[in-house]
Homo-oligomer: A and B are copies of this chain.
Amino acid sequence: MNFSKRSRYGIRALIYLAWHTDCACIQLNDIAERNGISLKYLEQIFAALRKAGIVKSIKGPQGGYFLAGTPASIRVADIVSVLDGNYLLEAEEIPTEENGGAEALTVQSAVIDPVNEYIDQFLNTLTLKDLVERSEQYREAVQYMYYI
């Protein structure tokens, strides 16, 4: 299981893109400064997102990135998959001896599997649209926090 900076930065950047679907595109420089993320690191993240078809790009001055689909069509599971590889807990190695297997199988089926099932279901149901909706409360709150 991974929920690395890479994924978190990616999701945050995509929320920002989703906020600005009215703009033609957004520059990485903009996002990097907003979030205190290294531009070079963001570039790598967006290279992956672009290759996976989640965003599209325009080169040259006034270029940038925009979402390839609607926010509702982009699942958080897709984003994390692209950026962190698999997001599930790794499967147990079941000992090949004549013993020890029962314990390992139990851990797999009673601990790992249920956690994985929940995470998988949760991340596959959650879309960028959901995140945008839930961000509304913070957009105001954040301005209040820092402008006072």
Contact = CB atoms under 8 A, between A and B. Distances in A.
Contact of A119 (B105, B107, B115): B115
Interface in A23-69: 34-36
A99 B147 CA distance: 10
A103 B146 contact: no
Contact of A106 (B15, B95, B97, B147): B15
A16 B89 CA distance: 23
B146 A134 contact: no
Interface in A71-124: 76, 89-90, 92, 95-107, 109-112, 114-115, 118-119, 122-123
B103 A35 contact: yes
Chain A interface main SS type: helix
Nearest to A110: B134
A11 B107 contact: yes
B97 A110 contact: no
Contacts of A96: 36
A111 B34 CA distance: 21
Interface of A: 1, 3, 8, 11-13, 15-16, 34-36, 76, 89-90, 92, 95-107, 109-112, 114-115, 118-119, 122-123, 126, 130-131, 134-135, 138-139, 141-143, 145-147
21 contacts: A1-B1, A3-B89, A8-B92, A8-B104, A12-B104, A15-B102, A34-B99, A34-B100, A35-B100, A36-B96, A98-B142, A98-B146, A101-B146, A102-B135, A102-B139, A105-B141, A106-B135, A111-B131, A114-B122, A115-B122, A118-B122
